[in-house]
Structure 1
Amino acid sequence: MSGPELPAEQTREELLERAILGEDVVFNAQEVSEETGVTLDEIRRLWRALGFPEHAGETAFTRADVDAVSTMSNVVASGLIDFDLAVNLTRAVGQTVARLADWEVTALVQRVEERGSEADPGTGGRLGSAMRIVEEFNAPFEQLIIYAWRRHLAAAVARVEALGGGEEEDLHTSQLTVGFADIVSFTALSNQLTEAKIGDLVELFESRCADVVAAQRGRVIKSLGDAVLFVNDDPIRSYDTAEGIINVIGRDSRMPDVRVGLASGSVVMRLGDVFGPPVNMAARLTAVARRNRIIVDATTAALLPGDQFEARRLPARPVRGFGIVEPVAVRRH
C-alpha cells in the first residue's frame, strides 16, 4: 500500500518535517492498522503514549511509523513483554525524547537565526539554514544518542545488580539519600528579569548542579526550573553534593541563593523517577532551611559519621504531610 499522494506544494513546516523525518507522511491510522495487523485502538494508545495527539482520518504517518508499530508488535508477539508494558516503555521514550528534542531546538535556534541572517536571500534564508543544519547535525547527533543510551543502560543495569537480594520486589526499591536544591524566592526573582535572563539563569543553575551531582557519583532525577532533585547511595557524597551546589550557586555573587534538603530511606524507582517519603521530605525541608544552608532529616543525620560532622537539632515544627518534625542542621567539623 503506497497511501494517497501528497499535494504538489508544501508549507514551510511540511518542508522542515520532511527534511527531519526523511520521508513523506502517506498513511492514515486505518492504513497503518491494515499494514501492521495492530488494532486501531492499540495504535492510538501507542501514539498517545509517545506524546502526540490522535489523528482521525487524516494522512499523518510515514513508512517509519508503520515499521515502528510492526517492531513493537513483533516484540509483544514474541512474549518478551506484554502490550501494557510496551505502552509504558513507549511513554518513557516519548517523554524523554520530547524533552531532548525541545532542548536541542532551543540550543540550535540561535544558530539558525545567525546562519539565516548571513545567508543570501536566494538560498532560502532562515528556512534554508534550518534545513542545512538538520542535514549536517542529525546523523552525528543520532549516533551520540545511541552512545549515551548504551552508557546509561549499562549504568542502570549495574545499579539494579548492586541492589542484590534476588527478590523481585527489591528490584524497584533502594536505600538512597535524596537531595532537593531550590532557588530562593525564584518567583519574585523571575518577575524582575527579562525572559532571556530567566532562561540563562535556569540553564546555568541546572548545568552547575548537574556537574556537581555527577562529580559525586549521584544522579539528577529531574530539573524543575528553580529546583533540582538528585539521589546518591552514599549519604556523605550526598552532603558533599549539597555543599558543592551551595558553593557554585549560593556563594557566586552573580547567582541567587539556594537551599538544600537531604532525606534518606527506601525509595521506589519507576520509569526514571523516584517516589517515597524521603523524596517528599527532602522537598519539604527546603522550606525550613536558611539561605545557602543544608538541612537534613534525622535518618540522614544518623548516617553521617560523628567524627566528621556536627549535627544540631532545630526546633520542632510542622512539616506538611509528616506532622511535627525536628530538622537537623549539619556541617563538617
Structure 2
Amino acid sequence: MNRSELRDQLASQILGGELDLTSAEVVEKGGLTLDAGERLWRALGFPDTGDSVAYGDADVRAVKIVAASIEHGVLDELTAFRMTRALGHTMSRLADWQVSTLVEQVEHDVEGGKSGSRLEAAIELATNAAPGFEELILYVWRRHLAAAASRIEALGAADEELLSTVMTVGFADLSRFTSLANGLDDAALATLVEDFETRCADIVTAHGGRVIKTLGDAVLFVCDDAVEGTRTSLDLVRQIGTRSELPDIRVGLATGSVISRLGDVFGPPVNLAARLSHVARSNRVLIDEGTALYLDDEFDMRTLPPRPLRGFGNLSPITVSERRGFFRTD
C-alpha cells in the first residue's frame, strides 16, 4: 500500500467512514442552510472547502444534532454556535496536543520494528487506542461538566450574574525564560515547558484550584479563596523553584470580581496578578491588598514600597511567606 493509500486509510479510520460529500450536500442532508452550515464549520475551526469533497456521514450527523437542537428549542441559535465554537477551540488544541504527544510513540514503534512506517504506526494507534480514549474523553468531559455546574449552583440563584464571582487569581511564570530558551534545542525546550506546565497543574489541582491556561513559560490559575490561593502559590515556589532542572519561578496573586466566559477568566484581578508576577523577585510570591485582607496568622506579610504597575498606577505589592513554626490544623 503506497503512502497516499495509507494516508486515506488513516483519515478514514479516524473519521469513521469515507469522505464523499461536499459541504452543500452535508448541510442539505443535515437540515441547515448553506450559510448556517458555513458558520458551523468556521465555529468548529474548519476552513471553507467550497465544492470539494471533504465530508462524510459523520459530518451529516453532526449537522443534524445542531439543527435539531435549534429547531426543537433546546438551544437558541446564538447559544448553539457559541457552544460549537467552544468545542472547536478546545478540540483543536486537544488534537494538536495528542498528536505531538504520540509522535514519540510512533517513532519508537518504527525504530523498534513494530511498524514499517510512521503512517502504519499511526494507523495501528488509531485502530487500537482511539476507541478507548474516545470513551475517556467523554468521561472526563462529564466529570468536568458536573464540577462546573456545581460551581455555578454554589453561587446561589439570587446572583444577578452567575458568571461573575469573587475569586483569587494566580499568575506563575518562569524567571529569565527567554535567555534560557535561546540556549536550548527544540527537544530540550519542549521537555522543560511540559515539565513546568505538568508540575504546576498537579500542584494547583491538588489544592483544589483550576488551571485556566498555560502560556509556555507561564500558568494562569484560579482558586475559590485567598488562603488556598496563597498556599498554592507558596507550594509552587517550594516545589518548582527548588528544582535544579527548572528555572526559578515568580507568582503574582490578586483577589476580586472575575468574569468566567469561554473557558477563560477576565477582570482586573487577572491583569493585576500578571503585573505582580512580573515585578516579583525569583522564587517569591507577591499579593495585592484584596488578597491580604483574607489572610491570617498562617502567613508573614510585608508591604513593599510603591511601584508603577501598568494599568494600575503606583501600587504597593505585598510579599508573603509561610510563618515559621505555624501549625495548620486542617
* Contact in 2 for aligned 1:117/1:125 (Cα 8 Å): no
SS in 1 for 2:244: coil
1:313 to 297, 303, 320: 303
Q: Distance in 1 between matches of 2:177 and 2:7?
A: 36
In 2, Cα distance between equivalents of 1:255 and 1:33: 50
Partner of 1:66: 60
Alignment of 1:142-153 (within 5 A): 142-153=134-145
**TM-aligned CA deviation for residue 14 of structure 1:** 2.5
Task: Tell me how far apart the structure 2 counterparts of residues 209 and 191 of structure 1 sit (CA, whole Å).
Answer: 23
1:55 equivalenced with 2:45 (yes/no) = no
Q: What are the equivalent positions in structure 2 for 1:64-213 lying under 5 Å apart? A: 64-119=58-113, 124-167=116-159, 169-213=160-204
Q: What letter corresponds to residue 145 of structure 2 in structure 1?
A: L
The equivalent residue for 1:24 is 18
Q: CA deviation at 1:10?
A: 4.3
**Residue of structure 2 in register with 1:331 after alignment:** 321
Q: Any stretches of 5+ residues in structure 1 without a counterpart? A: 1-8
Alignment of 1:302 onto 2:302: no
Query: Partners in 2 of 1:204 and 1:279 — Cα distance?
Result: 24
Matches of 2:134 and 2:27, distance apart in 1:
28
Q: Quote the residue 1:3 is aligned against.
A: none
How far 1:66 moved relative to its partner?
0.7
* 2:256 and 2:290 in contact (8 A); partners too: yes
Whole-angstrom CA distance in 1 between matches of 2:6 and 2:276? 49
Please, what TM-score do these two structures have when normalized by structure 2?
Answer: 0.94
- CA deviations 1:259-312 (Å, max 9, x no partner) are 00000000001121110000000001111100000000111011111x222221
1:64 deviation in Å? 0.5
Structure 2 unmatched ranges of 5 or more: 324-330
Q: Offset of 1:165 from its aligned partner?
A: 4.2
Q: Where do 4+ consecutive residues of structure 1 move more than 6 Å?
A: none
Q: In structure 1, what residue type is equivalent to 2:125?
A: I
Identity of aligned residues (%): 49
CA distance in 2, matches of 1:234, 1:33: 47
Q: Matched residues in 1 for 2:173 and 2:253: separation? A: 12
- Please tell me whether the aligned partners of residues 166 and 257 of structure 2 are also in contact (alpha carbons under 8 angstroms): yes
Residues 108-137 of structure 1 show CA distances to partners (whole Å, capped at 9, x for unaligned) of 1111112123337xx642221110111110
Distance 1:98 1:206 in 2: 19
Q: Given that residues 319 and 325 in structure 1 are in contact (C-alpha distance below 8 angstroms), is that contact kept between their aligned partners in structure 2?
A: yes
- Match for residue 326 of structure 2? none
Partner Cα separation in structure 1 for residue 81 and residue 153 of structure 2: 25
CA contact (8 A) 2:7 2:119 kept: no
